[in-house]
Amino acid sequence: MSHTSPLKRSFVADLHSLIGQRVKLCGFAETIRDQKHMRFIVLRDPTGKVQLTQAKDAARLTVALDALTPESSVVVTGRVTAAPSVKLGGLEIVIEGAEICGLADARLPIAEDSGLDKWIDHRQVSLRYPSQQLVFAVQTTLEEAMRSFWKQHDFREIHSPKLMGTFSESGAEVFAVKYFGTTAFLAQSPQFYKQMAIAGGMEKVFEVGPAFRAEPSFTSRHETEFTSIDMEIGWIDDHYELMEIEERWLSHAITAVALEHGEAIKQLFGVEAVPPTLPFPKLTFEEAREILERLGHPLGTRADLDSEGERILAEHMAETTGHEFLFITDYPARHRAFYHMRREDRPDLTKGFDLLWRGMEITTGAQREHRYDRLIAQAAERGYKLDALSDYLDFFRFGCPPHGGMGVGLGRILMRLFGTASIREVTLLSRTPKRLRP
């Protein structure tokens, strides 16, 4: 397409320093007000909004915009003019040329106050709202900062296959794929392959990618497809080393977000982005159980926390420590994956941990059992068919180093950063048992 001018594009945020000059602007027509002799348009680009004016007597010029509808995309050239009475920056653009690039339907399918489901149905519109623009700016900054930590610490990036010949975890909640006359399964996590990379001498690896859970669950924090952030680290001494790495990593990433977007988050979501202090508080599962018992929420025979228990604990820790994060460690083995390493002194407990942020689990991690014979024994104890697991078990037959790692939910971190009630407010496109579109 040929634009109306060879001028380079300017952005709204820079206009105050361009008074008197001709500029080219690209963006969406947010509002259009046609008066008898004048047309007023508010143009929005990623950096802000500005008023455009067009005198209607210059008949030839106005034609290009006569069909203009709200949210159409336009390219406009004009002169930046001081206009102290205009609320949007005290300036306006006197239009000299204009082109409608994408004409929007006269009737928009949603408004900013439509419900969340409508927002998702019409993502091409709802993504334009300032709060949603911010979500993905923050996501970008957050991941950049995570990666700068990994780079500083010499991690390698891996891309593990999502199509697997066997289940990556229990098999209970796995999607099946027709695969050239056989069946493949969608990876529930990169767990097996990041451990394979460690066995392969890669020492420190990370992956950011999709993970799939065929869970018929409709909570505000579960998706059937989600972005999983995974790390695996070799030559660790124990799971405390993993937690120490995770808390430094998270603090580094949240600090970057707070510095770059703290003000905008506060303005648009009313939430303060506060870099957490180190170290994070830690409780063993048994300590957590005792506290809950004392607070009138006994867990009974449960080997994990229920969401009510998580909430109560978070409240208690916030009161006693002032901290929003809480590691729960040393979970009973019977509730954890078979490959979590057991404590030598208490084989009924694992070297595993969860990380809660304001009472919601955002991480599961553990030192893994890297010794082939013990791993076989732990799988057999669960009644797993060793044949079906043979590819995985083989990873540990040729001298795998001690290691551990964690899986972190990107969407859950964003939920907490923005204080949203649903993961779907911070996800590009939601996938639930009832939603596969758009």
d(Cα 112, Cα 37) in Å, to the nearest integer?
31
The nearer residue to a copy of itself, 298 or 347, going by C-beta atoms, is 347
Residues 256-295: x where in contact with a copy of itself by CB under 8 A, - otherwise, as a string = ----------------------------------------
R_g of the chain, CA atoms, integer Å: 27
**Residues 101, 172, 259, 377: which binds a copy of itself (CB under 8 A)?**
101
Report the amino acid identity of residue 96.
Answer: E
**371 marked among binding-site residues:** no
Report CA torsion sign: 160, 165, 169, 172: positive
Using rule CB under 8 A, residue 399 touches a copy of itself: yes
The 180-219 contact track toward a copy of itself, x by CB under 8 A, reads: x-x-x-x------x--xx-xxxxx----xxx-x-x-x---
Residues 229-248 contacting a copy of itself, CB under 8 A: 234-235, 237-238
What is the DSSP secondary structure assignment for residue 349, as one 8-state letter?
Answer: B
Sign of CA dihedral 348, 349, 350, 355: positive
Q: Is 1 in the site for a copy of itself (CB under 8 A)?
A: yes
Is residue 365 within 8 A of residue 243, CB to CB? The reply is: yes
Binding of residue 2 to a copy of itself (CB under 8 A): yes
- Which member of 38, 58, 108, 386 binds a copy of itself (CB under 8 A)? 108
Does 347 contact a copy of itself by CB under 8 A?
no
Distance between CA atoms of residues 300 and 303, nearest Å: 9
Q: For residues 333 and 341, give the distance between their C-alpha atoms in angstroms, rounded to a whole number.
A: 9
Q: Rounded to an integer, what distance in angstroms lies between the CA atom of residue 409 and that of residue 170?
A: 19
Q: Are 284 and 329 in contact (CB under 8 A)?
A: yes
Residue 214 annotated as binding?
A: yes
Instruction: Work out how close the CB of 115 gets to a copy of itself at its nearest, in angstroms, rounded to a whole number.
Output: 18
429 part of the interface to a copy of itself, by CB under 8 A: yes
Query: What is the smallest separation between the CB atom of 288 and a copy of itself, expressed in angstroms?
Result: 25
342 is in an annotated binding site: no
Q: Which stretch binds a copy of itself (CB under 8 A): 53-61, 129-137, 266-274, 303-311?
A: 129-137
Examine residue 348 and tell whether it contacts a copy of itself (CB under 8 A): no
How far is the C-alpha of 421 from the C-alpha of 428, rounded, in Å? Answer: 16
The answer to whether the annotation marks 409 as part of a ligand binding site is: yes
- Segment 4 to 23, residues that bind a copy of itself, using CB under 8 A: 9
Short-list 336, 364, 366, CA closest to 352: 366
Interacting residues of 287 by C-beta distance below 8 A, sequence separation 6+: none
- Contact track, a copy of itself, 58-97, x by CB under 8 A: -----------x-xxx-x----------------------
Which positions from 133 through 172 interact with a copy of itself, judged by CB under 8 A?
133, 136-137, 139-140, 143-144, 147, 151, 155-166
Stretch that binds a copy of itself, among 58-66, 255-263, 378-386, 393-401 (CB under 8 A): 393-401
**3-state secondary structure at position 183:** strand
Cβ-contact 242, 353 below 8 angstroms: yes
- Give me 53's structure tokens: 């004016």
Closest to 74 in 3D by CA, of 15, 28, 23: 28
**Interior angle at CA 221, CA 218 and CA 227, nearest 5:** 115
Annotated binding residue at 410? yes
Q: Which of 16, 294, 346, 397 binds a copy of itself (CB under 8 A)?
A: 397
The residue within the footprint of a copy of itself, chosen from 22, 56, 153, 431 (CB under 8 A), is 431
* From 83, 291, 335, 372, residue interacting with a copy of itself (rule: CB under 8 A): 372
User: Up-side HSE of residue 217: CA atoms within 13 Å toward CB?
Assistant: 12
We find the least distance from the C-beta atom of residue 389 to a copy of itself, in angstroms, to be 11
Query: What sign has the CA pseudo-torsion 18, 20, 24, 27?
Result: positive
Residue 169 in marked binding region: yes
- Is 203 annotated in some ligand binding site? no
Nearer to a copy of itself, 18 or 26 (CB): 26
42, 61, 88, 177: which one binds a copy of itself (CB under 8 A): 177
Q: In the structure encoding, which two tokens stand for residue 74, read together?
A: 């336009």
Using the structure block, give the residue that is written with the tokens 């964003």.
414
Binding residue ranges for ATP: 213-215, 361, 409-412
Binding residue ranges for L-aspartate: 169, 213, 364, 368
Binding residue ranges: 169, 213-215, 361, 364, 368, 409-412
